[in-house]
Chains A and B, each alone.
Chain A
């Protein structure tokens, strides 16, 4: 199965993303190996797998920040501007003196750019986005004073501001309580209804089974990709664990290079 064709979008749905034998990695060591498949426009997809399975690497490549080592990865009818990417929380400098409002307003970049003023409409949109994630009243707080949950809500508000057709979320619910997770899942469901394509890296299988119709189970190679209930079978999960543990540090040049 590994490296083979895992998923193709059924007839009648338009393809948003086509992956053709994609290999991703750093310094020639592949983190994701020979991945082929496609993602439909408006799909709500979870990417699951053990630590080191290449989930974040795949998301990075989907966002355009990482060039594939091999194969083709092509978004259909969309540019980098249509993609909003939420990386893991650790990369944000929380000591920087900036308010919640300004941070959320950053999401307006594609319209306001270098010099454009944040006009009345963008201002209202910022307040609305902050309200949508339940942070009303905290607009003037510095980001360093926010709790972990409030921080993630703020970043979701910025995603709302970006108003992108495709949303990539890297472990968006890690270390969040049930209440916050529920609110943010509600927002994701709304995005799904609006026809946006949402792709999220997640660890909580129960949450994925409840809220995500489709799943890609990754263990450096595609283990299974398709309907969530079938993909997350006990057999597939066991295989995923086994495949990552077998990772070879002194790997030879891959014989499967086309």
Chain B
């Protein structure tokens, strides 16, 4: 047991780093995922993750695999796409999902093109799938800052976001414009987390550590508080199990972490207490009143 679950982290510095890094990501990403799901923006997260790629790629084009340049590029690209697709949805006949899809497909193609202009396939793989086993100190600090900002931000936005999701006209009547401001700040947090996740898990998988634990939590939890707690728990568990499995089998770590989150999702799908499939099969006797 010790060899299986603890030894890799005791023996290897890079495994400890990977663990702490993904734990930070899990801590902030999972609550973001909960809000994305409840606000019916699950695919928005996915689209934004793709949209970040060309920004990071341009940073890469100028500075190679530099943390600062790629982070700045990713943040800028993320905000531009978020605002642009919001504007397109507002001023044209296209709905937000269609306009996001258009932007992210263009972004993805652009990003891959830019990376292949200069780099090797190895670099492309690094950008697409991350490098969780090679986190340096600077990346560490970045992940910690993002996690802290996210938790503080979500605490501040909690009430307006919840109210805007359930009953936007009510929030608008008690505090005009609060809903719009909350939405923009929330999107900023989403971009921030995706950029952080992209260093560890890559642009394509970063969103997995947000959505899968949150979706799993929805199947167990009855209310918002439990859902937030459970989603973080699932994300932490998936990070740990993914790292262990990756170490023991030699399979790439990023995909392994997301697969672990996926396994938790399937278990939740079947056994989830609140709305899992088993519930249909058990057919509990109804109560008297």
Within 8 Å of chain A (Cβ to Cβ): is B166? yes
Give A241 to B197 CA distance when docked, in angstroms.
60
Chain B residues touching A, majority SS = helix
List B residues 130-174 near A (Cβ within 8 Å): 155-156, 159-160, 162-163, 165-170, 172-174
- Cβ contact within 8 Å between A83 and B173: yes
- Cβ contact within 8 Å between A106 and B170: yes
Q: Which residues of chain B are within 8 angstroms of A63 by Cβ–Cβ distance?
A: 173
Within 8 Å of chain A (Cβ to Cβ): is B38? yes
List B residues 166-217 near A (Cβ within 8 Å): 166-170, 172-176
- Cβ contact within 8 Å between A114 and B156: yes
Within 8 Å of chain A (Cβ to Cβ): is B115? no
Q: Which residues of chain B are within 8 angstroms of A93 by Cβ–Cβ distance?
A: 165-167
- Cβ contact within 8 Å between A97 and B172: no
Closest chain A CB from B80 CB (angstroms): 29
- Cβ contact within 8 Å between A84 and B173: yes
Contact digits for B218-256, partner A, Cβ 8 Å, 1 yes 0 no: 000111100100000000000000000000000000000
- Cβ contact within 8 Å between B176 and A97: no
Q: Which residues of chain A are within 8 angstroms of B156 by Cβ–Cβ distance?
A: 114-115
- Cβ contact within 8 Å between A65 and B176: yes
Report if A114-B173 is in contact (Cβ < 8 Å); known contacts: A93-B167, A96-B166, A97-B221: no
- Cβ contact within 8 Å between A110 and B224: no
Give A127 to B176 CA distance when docked, in angstroms.
27
Name the residue of chain A whose CB is nearest to the CB of B159.
A114
Q: Which residues of chain B are within 8 angstroms of A106 by Cβ–Cβ distance?
A: 163, 167, 170
List A residues 75-110 near B (Cβ within 8 Å): 80-81, 83-85, 87, 91-93, 96-99, 103, 106, 109-110
Q: Which residues of chain B are within 8 angstroms of A162 by Cβ–Cβ distance?
A: 174
Give A147 to B223 CA distance when docked, in angstroms.
19
Q: Which residues of chain A are within 8 angstroms of B227 by Cβ–Cβ distance?
A: 97
Closest chain A CB from B164 CB (angstroms): 10
Closest chain B CB from A181 CB (angstroms): 22
- Cβ contact within 8 Å between A142 and B169: no
Q: Which residues of chain B are within 8 angstroms of A83 by Cβ–Cβ distance?
A: 173
Within 8 Å of chain B (Cβ to Cβ): is A50? no
Q: List 25 A-B contacts (CB under 8 A).
A: A64-B173, A65-B173, A65-B176, A80-B174, A81-B174, A85-B170, A87-B169, A87-B173, A91-B167, A91-B168, A91-B169, A92-B167, A93-B167, A97-B222, A98-B162, A99-B223, A106-B163, A106-B167, A109-B159, A109-B163, A113-B159, A114-B160, A115-B156, A142-B223, A158-B170
Chain B contact residues, CB within 8 Å of chain A: 38, 155-156, 159-160, 162-163, 165-170, 172-176, 221-224, 227
| New contact pairs (8) apart from A63-B173, A87-B170, A87-B173, CB-CB < 8 Å | A81-B174, A85-B173, A93-B166, A96-B38, A98-B162, A109-B163, A143-B166, A158-B170
